Structure 1
């Protein structure tokens, strides 16, 4: 039985010394429905969020998020053009722990609502660029993962090989992906600080600008394209292009292949969905993933005779990837 917002408010007062809660309301359920949460208002007018994980996955995510938030020091945060929450306190409850955070103001950003004419796509591109411009040293100092291009390439190959072993991936796609992993120019990039699990709902916005960024549990040094691939699922006209352009302008980056790797990661998300279905022995998920893979073949058929490489890869909006990600979040 889910805990009430009043119970969560009582836990918050135990977690944060001196917290005097004036009101409390239920607050969503997290990206995967794995948290009980409440929005709290203190008598001083400040707002707080309390979250209690309801699964092992959520508990591990919350622990990793706390490590990342501690790594994001005041000096690091000062380099960011948006707010990041702060850990306020915690208290044990039912074999896990309730954690209280400072509330970050802004509205969630549904992917379908992003438009180019309101400036939000540009702001998202600049926000991601700011994360990637952070010094990598603080990641290593905090003991967080630091990946090399070779390790990142190898992880993509592992996903491809596992998907190929199901014998459910169209040969045309396997060939396309293999050519991409064999293109050395595609993997010549400088790893940066990345959030690692960005989606539209990671962002908070107000008046067409990014005000906050949530969910830091996969903070690491890695491929900047990992933070960008989700933009390719935007339905709005030229949204992805606007965000990528703003990102490139802010970064002044020489990584000309970031869009291409982002597209590859977007396609491999469908392969991950297939693997998830096989692991869960879910015929429904497997059938959905197979249909999406065949749909992807149709989408990129004009490019299948060429290599998915640094100079031939098209930049496309893969709506199937967005739909899959939505289903994966609800799974």
Structure 2
């Protein structure tokens, strides 16, 4: 039986010294956590979360490591709020964790418009422009382009072994992994699990980003692929264009790699279905793969190819090199 908000509120008082709760309500957090929104007498609001599975417990632990790595100095570089760990209390072999509440409403893809996409692009670029050193200092993953590419190839090989992926798609993905120009990028700080639901917004602007359990240094395209699911291509382009402008066009192939990540998400869904032995999930993934074939029909004979761009101007080259040096500090 799920714990009531009042029970969770009592746990919150044990986790946070001096917390004086005057109200507690349910907090929609999916099936992975039992959660409640806590209001204190001083008006501050808090969220308490209790994981309901080993997977969600592991996710919560990783999130805490990431939030601790995001120091005050690092957070000051971000144009939005990030949750702060407030305290924890043991319960039933796991732990309840309390965070402060970041202002804003959860973003959805259906709600994403040009104005909000621009703010999302700017916010994502701010994450990617953080210095990479704090991630390494926290012992979090720091991946090279080759390591990232090998990981994608592993996903492709496993999906291919199911014999359920259309040959045309496998060929399309293989050509993308063989296009060396796509993989000549500078790894950046990445959230690693961004989606529309990661963003909180108010009046068309991002106010916060939640869910940092996959914080690492990796491929910036990993944080952007979900934008391709926006309701119109114009909305997606608004996000990508603002992202590129904010970062100074330092990664000219990010949208092409994002396209590959987006398509491989279906392959991961297929693999999840086969691992869980769920006919329903497998059938859904196969249907989505066939839909992908139909949607990119006419494009299968060429690679998700790199952009052929004009030669960079001297000031662009200098800006790119300065940015790389800054990120490596």
Q: TM class by shorter-chain length?
A: over 0.9
Q: Of the candidates 95, 98, 111, which is equivalent to residue 96 of structure 2?
A: 98
| Per-residue deviation, residues 192-243 of structure 1 (Å, max 9, x unmatched) | 0000000001000001000000000000000000000000001145110000
Is 2:112 aligned against 1:114? Answer: yes
What is the match of residue 326 of structure 1? none
What's the secondary structure of 1:97's corresponding residue?
Answer: strand
User: Structure 2: which 5+ residue stretches go unaligned?
Assistant: 309-329
After TM superposition, the structure 1 = structure 2 runs for residues 51-200 of structure 1, keeping only pairs within 5 Å, are 51-116=49-114, 119-200=115-196
- Please say if residues 114 and 236 of structure 1, whose CA atoms lie closer than 8 Å, have aligned partners that are also in contact: no
- Tell me, in whole angstroms, the C-alpha distance in 1 between the residues paired with 2:150 and 2:246: 29
Structure-1-length-normalised TM-score: 0.92
Distance in 2 (alpha carbons) for counterparts of 1:254 and 1:209: 24
Q: Which residue of 1 aligns with 2:39?
A: 41
User: Could you tell which deviates more after superposition, 236-245 or 19-28?
Assistant: 236-245
Q: 1:204 aligns with which of 200, 203, 219?
A: 200
Report if aligned partners of 1:85, 1:101 keep a CA contact under 8 Å in 2: yes
Q: Deviations over 1:101-151 (max 9, x none)?
A: 0111100111111111xx111000000000000000000000000000000
Query: Are residue 257 (structure 1) and residue 281 (structure 2) matched?
Result: no
The two structures, once aligned, show a CA RMSD in angstroms of: 0.9
Task: Extract unaligned runs of 5+ from structure 1.
Answer: 313-331
Q: Which residue of 2 aligns with 1:324?
A: none
For residues 139 and 188 of structure 1, what CA distance do their matches in structure 2 show? 21
TM-score w.r.t. length of structure 2: 0.92
Q: CA deviation at 1:284?
A: 1.1
Aligned length: 308
Deviation at 1:304, TM superposition (A): 1.1
Q: Which runs of 4+ in 1 moved over 6 A?
A: none
Q: What's the offset of the Cα at 1:169?
A: 0.6
Inter-partner Cα distance in structure 1 for 2:81 and 2:29: 21
